[in-house]
Amino acid sequence: MPDLSALADPGFLAVQCLNGLTQAMFLFLIASGLSLIFGVLGVLNFAHGSLYMLGAYLSYTIASWFVGSPAAFWVALILGSIGVALVGGIIESVFLRPVYRREELDQLLVTYALVLIISDLVKLAWGAENRSGSRPALLAGSVVIAGRDFPTYNLFVLAVGPLVALGLWLLLRRTQFGRLVRAAANDREMVGVVGVNVTGLFTGVFMLGAWLGGLGGGLAAPIGAIFPGMDVEIIVESFIVVVVGGMGSLGGTLLGALIIGQLNAFGILFFPRFAIVFVYILMAVVLVIRPWGLLGRPVTRG
């Protein structure tokens, strides 16, 4: 039987809701990169979770170089995510560019091979044991919300998610780069015909998506274990977010992340043994009723 006693505690419910929102912001950061890459390049990047894992490890290592410095976390977050973006550029140029015109199955197999390669490289570089990062001193404490303690770091994550969403929206809607990206998403051949460097555009989009994954990993490093295999856990939920929200839709990705975050937060509270099932049921229902997602559009490519 579900434990309904928690419903009588508004403070607990408020904090649980904030926990769900925090998870939603992590999912949004990672899934938005996944959705962006699919929306423009048309590639289902199974290796996106590996970029998230790489972001966590790089941030952890860079932070260890500046132990004792108040700027260690921030330097690690910036340099770690940029490092992942550079790795993403190499992946796109070397492994994905040659298979853009092949069958989708070939692309899936290439990204799956990248998952295995990156996993082995991570084990080789950092070993198989769990590691954990440190929160910056500025965000190490907690605040009282509705009579309950809530980590200050989680509030920071809650602020980062909407800021990144706003930044992406401005980038895609208010810049020349964004207009080219949206045009390429609708008809990549036409964009190439009018003289746009589609190859460079695709590399830039993939690097942006990889940066988002690396940023998510860097932010997650101080609040959870860093271990080989963390990529598999996150990529499953990220795919569900993108499927529910709509492939290639930034707003849909944010909506999907908010729904999944709250489902996880309250599902595990009332139905701890079956919480994960609700997420899969939701995805199945969306696929049956609206296969292009809640805010997505049917895929038509030129």
More confidently predicted of 96 and 100: 96
Res 206 pLDDT > 90 = yes
How confident is the prediction for the chain on average, in pLDDT? Answer: 89
Q: What pLDDT does 302 receive?
A: 47
Q: What pLDDT does 297 receive?
A: 80
Distances (CA, A) of 259 to 21, 174, 241, 289: 9, 28, 8, 17
Between CA 110 and CA 114 the distance in angstroms is 6
Q: What pLDDT does 152 receive?
A: 95
Between CA 284 and CA 276 the distance in angstroms is 13
Give the pLDDT band (50/70/90) at residue 192. confident
Q: Cα 114 from chain centroid?
A: 17
Among the listed residues 34, 20, 52, the one whose alpha carbon sits nearest the alpha carbon of residue 250? 34
Res 46 pLDDT > 70 = yes
Between CA 284 and CA 264 the distance in angstroms is 16
Between CA 188 and CA 90 the distance in angstroms is 21
| Tokens 């990156």 belong to residue | 118
Q: 189: how many CB neighbours lie within 10 A of its CB?
A: 10
Give the pLDDT band (50/70/90) at residue 1. low
Between CA 297 and CA 57 the distance in angstroms is 36
**Residue 144 amino acid letter:** V
Q: What is the tens place of the pLDDT at every residue in 243-275? A: 999 887 889 999 999 999 999 888 877 777 777
**Residue 177 amino acid letter:** F
Q: What is the tens place of the pLDDT at every residue in 119-164? A: 999 999 999 999 988 899 889 889 998 888 999 999 999 999 999 9
pTM, two decimals, is 0.91
